[in-house]
Amino acid sequence: MDPASVLALLRSLGGRIDRLLVVGCEPVDVDEGMGLSEPVAGAVDKACRVVRQLLDDEISRSQPTRKETIA
């Protein structure tokens, strides 16, 4: 399913999402075949770093600050 269909299904089931982050890359071609194109394969490591940083940021956002835990 494409992202728009997934989000529409979520909405139709009564669900909601407050924040959505998407990391992706544009394929060189969409012909059937095995493996990744050279440019896409070269982008995988950077995409993984971006995803890890986004996860770290989201975890930091969701944890209470020291000030909040004291109060």
pLDDT of residue 18: 87
> How far from 61 is each of 10, 16, 23, 41, CA to CA, in Å?
24, 19, 19, 31
pLDDT of residue 50: 95
pLDDT of residue 1: 76
Instruction: Tell which wins on pLDDT, 38 or 66.
Output: 38
pLDDT one-digit tens code per residue, 4-58: 999 999 999 999 998 888 888 887 788 888 888 888 899 999 999 999 999 999 9
